[in-house]
Amino acid sequence: WSSRDFLWTKKLEDNNKKVFGNHSFRPNQREVINATMSGHDVFVLMPTGGGKSLTYQANIPAAYLSANMEWTEQQEILRELSSDYCKYKLLYVTPEKVAKSDVLLRHLDSTYARESLARIVIDEAHCVSQWGHDFRPDYQGLGILKQKFPNTPVLGLTATATASVKEDVVQALGLVNCIVFRQSFNRPNLCYSVIPKTKKCVEDIDGFIKKNHFDECGIIYCLSRMDCEKVAEKLQECGHKAAFYHGSMDPAQRAFIQKQWSKDEINIICATVAFGMGINKPDVRFVIHHSLPKSIEGYHQECGRAGRDGQHSSCVLYYSYSDYIRVQHMITQGAVEQSPMPSGYKNQLFVNLWNWTILQVEVVKLTGQQFSSSHILEVYRGSLSQFVKKHKHNTLKLHGAGKHLTKSEASRILHHLVVADFLVEDVKKSDIYGSLSSILKVNESKACLLWSGGQKITLRFPSSDNASKLSKSGV
C-alpha cells in the first residue's frame, strides 16, 4: 500500500504539506489512506498520538451532531444536510445519534443513493466490543451502517485493542475482508514512573509539577468524584490553575471546564475517567494517576493522552494497596464511572481469600489482641514452638488454620490487613532500654465489614501452583 502509485498520490502529498504543514507521513498513515480510498474496509491500531486523525479528516467544511446541542441548532444542521447543495463534506456524529435519529438515517440513505456517501469512520472503535474496557452499547448499534450501506468503506480506528477485541469489533461492525494495520505501541517520549502513595500524595504532586512541568498542561486521574474535588482544591491552594471534572457535573459545566483547559486558561484537570474520550490536546505534558487505574487497557489509554506532539512527557502512577481495595470494591459494586467490568480484572486470576482473611483476624482475637504479628503468623500456620505452647495457643481451634500457605503468603495477607486498616499495630516500648515492639489489635469498626461481606480482601497469586493449592484446600 505504500509503494504503489494511486490517482490521488500527488494530491495526498500536497495536502499533507499544505493543509497540515507536515514534511512526511508517519508510519501507516499513507497506507491507511490508500487502502480506504481504494474502497476497502480497514481496521487501524495505532498508538495515541500516532496520527490517526490525519487518515480521515482534512481542512474541509464539517459539522457535528450530538444530543448535547440545542435542538434548534440540531435542526439547522439536519436541514442543511438534506439540502441538495449541502455545504458540509464531513459530519461528526455520536453513536447515540446514529441509533436514535431517524432523520439522520434518512439523510444518509439519500446520500448513499446518490453514491455520495464516501466513507464511514468509527473512531475509538474498541468501544464496540463487550470484551473491551470501554464498551458502549450504542457503539454496537453501529453495525447497522454496514448493513444499510454495504458499498461504503468503513474505517475503524483505535489505540487499544487486544486480538479478541479486534475480532469482536470487526464482526460487530460487519467489516468485509478488512485490511488491518497495527504498529508498535512504544511511545519513547513518555516517561513512566510508579510511586508508593503516602498521605502526602497531593503535596508530592504539587512539588513534581512545580519542578518538572510548571505552568504546563496535565491531567490528574482520580478514583472518585470527591477525590477530584479535593485534589483540585488542594492544588489551587498551592497556586495551580486547577479544576475538577466528573460525571456528576452537568454537561454545560463539563464542556466549560474542558474548553478552559483546551485554551490553557486552566492547566490541570483533576478528573475521573469520564474525562478523556476524544481529547485531542497535543501538548499534555503529564498524566498523573492519583489512584490505581481500573484496568491496564484503561491505564494505557489514559497515559496515551500525554505527549501527542511527540515532546517529552511524564506519566506518574501513585500506588497504594488500599486504593487497590477501593477499585476492587467499586468494580464489584458496579460503581465504576462509565465503565463496565474492566477486562483487566475480569481476565486475571484472582483468588478470593475471604475465609483465610477472616481466620487471620480471628486468630488475633482468640489470642487476646496482645501478641506481635510474627506470633500471630506462627499460630495461624500451626507452629509448635515453645512460645506457642507456653501460651497454649496450639490448643486453639484455629491453630494451623493457614497451614496451606507459605510464610510469605500468610504474611502478605497480614500485611494487607494492616495496610487496609482491618488490623492495627500498637507500637510500644517493650523494655527499659526503649526498644520498640508492636502488638496487633483488631479495628472492630472496619473488621465488621469483613464479616458482613461488605468488604472482601482478594489477592492475586502469581503461580498456578498456588491456585491449585487453594482449590485443594477448598477456598
Nearest approach in angstroms of CB 53 to ligand ADP is 3
Looking at the Cβ atoms of 240 and 308, the one nearer to ligand ADP is 308
Q: What are phi and psi of 156, to 5 degrees?
A: -105, 135
Q: Alpha carbon of 186 to those of 25, 344, 444: distances in Å?
A: 18, 20, 47
In this structure, the strands spanning 154-158 and 120-122 are: parallel
Rounded Cα–Cα distance for residues 53 and 25 (Å)? 12
Smallest gap from Cβ 255 to ligand ADP, in A, equals: 20
String marking each residue 375-414 x if it binds ligand ADP according to CB under 6 A: ----------------------------------------
Spell out the residues 6+ positions from residue 375 whose beta carbon is closer than 8 angstroms to its own: 367, 387, 388, 393
- Dihedral angle sign, alpha carbons of residues 112, 46, 262, 13: negative
Note whether 251 binds ligand ADP by CB under 6 A: no
Residue 52 or 240: the one with the smaller Cβ distance to ligand ADP is: 52
Minimum Å distance from CB 330 to ligand ADP? 28
Cα dihedral across residues 205, 271, 52, 76: positive or negative: negative
Least Cβ distance, residue 22 to ligand ADP (angstroms): 4
> Nearer Cβ to ligand ADP, position 48 or 343?
48
Nearer to ligand ADP, 110 or 189 (CB): 189
Q: Which stretch binds ligand ADP (CB under 6 A): 44-52, 284-292, 374-382, 391-399?
A: 44-52
In the complex, minimum distance from the CB of residue 58 to ligand ADP, in angstroms, rounded to a whole number: 12
User: 132 or 402, CB closer to ligand ADP?
Assistant: 132
Cβ-based neighbour number of residue 14 at 10 Å: 10
Q: For 353, which DSSP code?
A: -
Contact status: 52 vs ligand ADP (CB under 6 A): yes
Minimal distance, residue 284 CB to ligand ADP, in Å = 11
* Binding of residue 54 to ligand ADP (CB under 6 A): yes
Rounded to 5°, the CA angle 94-100-102 comes to 110
Dist CA 295 CA 132 (whole Å): 10
Q: Any contact of residue 182 with ligand ADP (CB under 6 A)?
A: no
User: Is residue 282 part of the contact set for ligand ADP (CB under 6 A)?
Assistant: yes
Chosen residue from 28, 34, 36, 48 binding ligand ADP by CB under 6 A: 48
Q: How far is the CB of 303 from ligand ADP (least distance, A)?
A: 12
Nearer to ligand ADP, 52 or 290 (CB): 52
| Residues in CB range of 368: below 8 A, 6 or more apart | none
Neighbours of 364 (CB within 10 A): 25
Nearer to ligand ADP, 22 or 369 (CB): 22
- Residue that is written with C-alpha cell 469520564 in the block: 274
Q: Which three cell numbers stand for residue 328?
A: 476492587
**Nearest distance from C-beta of residue 243 to ligand ADP, angstroms:** 23
H-helix or E-strand spanning residue 268: strand 268-271
308 or 375, CB closer to ligand ADP? 308
Q: Which stretch binds ligand ADP (CB under 6 A): 48-56, 249-257, 268-276, 450-458?
A: 48-56
Distance CA 119, CA 135 (A): 23
Task: Return the bridge partners of 48, or none.
Answer: none
Minimum CB separation from ligand ADP for residue 264, in Å?
15
* Rounded CA separation 271/221 (Å): 5
The answer to whether residue 309 forms part of the interface with ligand ADP (CB under 6 A) is: yes
Tell me which of 15, 53, 372, 394 binds ligand ADP, using CB under 6 A.
Answer: 53
Near ligand ADP by CB under 6 A, which window of 6-14, 52-60, 261-269, 284-292?
52-60
The stretches of 242-392 forming alpha helices (DSSP H) are 251-262, 296-303, 321-333, 343-347, 354-366, 373-380, 386-390
Among 179, 160, 173, which residue's Cα sits nearest to residue 128?
Answer: 173
Q: Per rule CB under 6 A, is residue 49 in the interface with ligand ADP?
A: yes
Q: Residue 434: CB partners within 8 Å, gap ≥ 6?
A: none
Among 35, 45, 46, 271, binds ligand ADP (CB under 6 A): 46
Q: Which of 50, 293, 298, 342 binds ligand ADP (CB under 6 A)?
A: 50
# binding residues, ligand ADP (CB under 6 A)? 16
Q: What distance in Å separates the CA atoms of residue 381 and residue 374, rounded to the nearest whole number?
A: 11
Compute φ and ψ for 108, nearest 5 degrees: -65, -40
CB of 189 to ligand ADP, least distance (A): 11
* Beta-strand relationship, 436-442 and 423-429: antiparallel
**What is the CA angle 104-106-111, rounded to 5?**
95
308 contacts ligand ADP (rule: CB under 6 A): yes
Question: Per rule CB under 6 A, is residue 320 in the interface with ligand ADP?
Answer: no
Among positions 9-38, residues that touch ligand ADP (CB under 6 A) are 22, 25-26, 29
Tell me how far, at minimum, the Cβ of 54 lies from ligand ADP, in Å.
Answer: 5
Site residues (CB under 6 A) for ligand ADP?
A: 22, 25-26, 29, 46, 48-54, 280, 282, 308-309
